[in-house]
Amino acid sequence: MEKLNTLIILLIAAVLLVPGCYAEESAMNESANATAPDVTIEQNVTQGVNATEASTIETAVTEADYTANVNTTNLTMKVNQTALISLKENPTTGFSWNVTNSTGLEIVNDTYTTDKAPESMVGVGGVHEWLVKAVEAGNQTFDAVYKRSWEPTTGSEDTYALNVTVE
């Protein structure tokens, strides 16, 4: 009886480990072939969110006064204007954007949208979007570091910085 229990436990462990090993290998292959994350201004499909959330996201995007891309490092905004900041992200690899902003900028919407992919596909990246509102005049900043949260910051991470002058 004890041998039967051991055999069952080993079979269950094998069934659970094989998909995990495949997913880890896929993620490793993707990260080896990956390039530095790009900043984009494209609107992406809001896959995986309900209709109300999708409507809210689309409304927020269409109401943005500015969009930021990789070439946008400085913006001039008026109080109560908004900017949509979009950064590619793949949290399935453990990497995500760690964002900080000055008190004169308020993040009014923070959304991650997975790229279109077959339903069973693992390791799919997407786009993280922040709708940022200027709430206080002066020099403001939006900074992001692309890293794994459990790893120490080394200074070699991909970063994005947006300097905003709010009038």
CA 143 to each of CA 1, 7, 29: distance values in angstroms, whole numbers, following the listed order: 60, 53, 29
d(CA 116, CA 112): 13
Instruction: Read off the pLDDT of residues 12-33 as tens digits, 9 standing for 90 and up.
Output: 655 555 555 444 444 444 444 4
Q: Which residues have CB under 8 Å from 42's CB, separation 6+?
A: 86, 127
What is residue 63's predicted lDDT score, i.e. its pLDDT?
73
Q: Which residues have CB under 8 Å from 161's CB, separation 6+?
A: 73, 141, 142, 143, 144
What is the CA 74 to chain-centroid distance, rounded? 21
Instruction: Read off the pLDDT of residues 100-152 as tens digits, 9 standing for 90 and up.
Output: 999 999 999 999 999 999 988 999 999 999 999 999 999 999 999 999 999 99
What is residue 1's predicted lDDT score, i.e. its pLDDT?
64
Measured on CA atoms in the order 44, 47, 48, 52, is the torsion positive or negative?
positive
Tell me phi and psi for residue 121, to 5 degrees: -70, 135
